[in-house]
Amino acid sequence: MHQRILMRAKKGPFDVYSPEEAFERNWIGENNGNLVFSHAAHKLLQTSTTEITPTEFKVNPRDADMINERYDVYVVPLANAFRRSYAHRIELMTKLVERLKIPVVVLGVGVQTDVKGNREYLRPIDDAVTRFVRAVLDRSHSIGVRGEITEGYLRTLGFSAVDVIGCPSMFLHGDSLRVEKRKAALAPDDRLALTVSPYVKSMAKIIARHHERYANLRYLPQDLKTLGTLLYGDAPDDRGKSSAIPIHTSHPLFTEDKVRMFVDPWTWMDYLSGFEFAFGTRIHGTITALVAGTPGYLFAHDSRTLELARYFDIPHRVMKEVPADVDAAQLYDEADYTALNDGHKARYETMLAFLAKHDLGNAFADGDSAARFDARVRATTYPPAVRPAGATAPEVLLERLQWLRDRNTELQTDMETLREQRLRARVKRAVGGPVRRILNR
């Protein structure tokens, strides 16, 4: 049976946009980690009889009738959506869901509080989350959550139809996932990938230490603002500033061409497959390394990162327990991937049971659907990594300038069109009034 899925995703896995377009239109959804789990969900559900359409993160309750008519199910992969700063978006999404008549499947959502699961911190969003979950469960058998902290929170709100399923990103290769160390110990000349959440200031000394010790350290940012910094330099308010966290072009990792950012997960994974080790605070930066077969280690700094690390047995430490003088070689030595590898099939079966419960297909059980998806990825040309402007080839910079010039021309044309439309409307109102008065005499 043909199934039409509307999926919450910023873009589809084969939608290709240049870094400049990705920055202007925010095609990474603020953080390119969003693409990792939404594209994995796309692959997981892309059977031969399934048609998947991304929402581009658009949420408009007035679209409910159109969605009910055109789609059979609304699939909603989410990240740390149960957080204070996201409450207004949850409320808007709730208004849409309440108007839908088709099934709504939440494919993994997480709560964001501290690593201890501070319940009081979440009080302000209790009502918004309750209304959202109730709306989903009116259209679904259960709600899929990322880990035990989110499950516990929803149970305190009175919900029992809660399934812990982790995140689709870890099932990019179905039941196949094996992470192995390629060497006994790390050496100073090994390739190390670093992830940093810019707001985790305690990473500053760790960054400096590893920059000094490991010549082949590379920083892989994930946020939209840093993409803009790589493309066009510091924003006006940031010019001339410096920070121990790599957020300005003055940072040594920028000046030494040791920053790489990707606007698609596939090039990101290919790049990481050539590293010996990846570590840092970003959960999807860590997961991207793991699914690429590279040993990864997470510094869990909140509940959303911690519960995923626990569920998937990802080697980790709580950020507060990471000393400033920690060394990647030490982390590499203590990292054990036995539980991650051995438990993967059971976790995959849990995900499949959740999909089956909600009448969703599975590409890995649908002939060569998963293989065809991978082949299409290989046949698609995605943009390479974005590097600091000072290390970018002149021809690439020229293309960027030409793109900006063309875009400026388009915007000017649009403005002129808008002015003409407004002028016509004014003239029509000005003339229309007297004419109506004459005709009505």
pLDDT at 54: 98
Angle between helix axes 265-272 and 33-45 (nearest 10 degrees) is 100
280 forms beta bridges with 195, 298
Type of residue found at 200 = V
Helix (H), strand (E), coil (C) string for the chain:
CCEEEEECCCCCCCCCCCHHHHHHCCCCCCECHHHHHHHHHHHHHCCCCEEEEECCCCCCHHHHHHHHHHCCEEEECCCCCECHHHHHHHHHHHHHHHHCCCCEEEEEECECCCCCCCCHHHHHHHHHHHHHHHHHHCCCCCEEECCHHHHHHHHHCCCCCEEECCCHHHHCCCCCCCCCCCCCCCCCCCCEEEECCCCCHHHHHHHHHHHHHCCCEEECCCEHHHHHHHHHCCCHHHCCCCCCCCCCCCCHHHHCCCECECCCHHHHHHHHCCCCEEEECCHHHHHHHHHCCCCEEEEECCHHHHHHHHHHCCCEEEHHHCCCCCCHHHHHHHCCCHHHHHCHHHHHHHHHHHHHHCCCCCHHHCCCHHHHHHHHHHHCCCCCCECCHHHCCHHHHHHHHHHHHHHHHHHHHHHHHHHHHHHHHHHHHHHHHHHHHHHCC
Calculate the alpha carbon distances from 324 to 204, 210, 249, 306, 328 in Å: 8, 11, 24, 20, 12
Paired strand residues for 318:
300
pLDDT value of position 423: 81
Residue 87: per-residue pLDDT? 96
Measured at the CA of 296, the angle between CA 382 and CA 146, to 5 degrees, comes to: 85
- Closest listed residue to residue 338, CA positions, set 102, 130, 178, 171: 178
At 422, the amino acid letter reads R
Provide the residue type at 88 as one letter: H
pLDDT at 363: 98
Per-residue pLDDT of the chain (441 residues; tens, 9 = 90+): 799 999 999 999 999 999 999 999 999 999 999 999 999 999 999 999 999 999 999 999 999 999 999 999 999 999 999 999 999 999 999 999 999 999 999 999 999 999 999 999 999 999 999 999 999 999 999 999 999 999 999 999 999 999 999 999 999 999 999 999 999 999 999 999 999 999 999 999 999 999 999 999 999 999 999 999 999 999 999 999 999 999 999 999 999 999 999 999 999 999 999 999 999 999 999 999 999 999 999 999 999 999 999 999 999 999 999 999 999 999 999 999 999 999 999 999 999 999 999 999 999 999 999 999 999 999 999 999 999 988 888 888 888 989 888 888 888 888 888 888 888 888 777 666 554 544 455
The pLDDT of residue 45 is 98
- Return the pLDDT at 161: 98
Q: What pLDDT score does 434 carry?
A: 54
Query: Torsions phi, psi of 350, nearest 5?
Result: -65, -45
What whole-number distance in Å separates Cα of residue 91 and Cα of residue 29?
19
Nearest to 167 by CA among 14, 2, 295, 287: 287
Predicted structure pTM score: 0.92
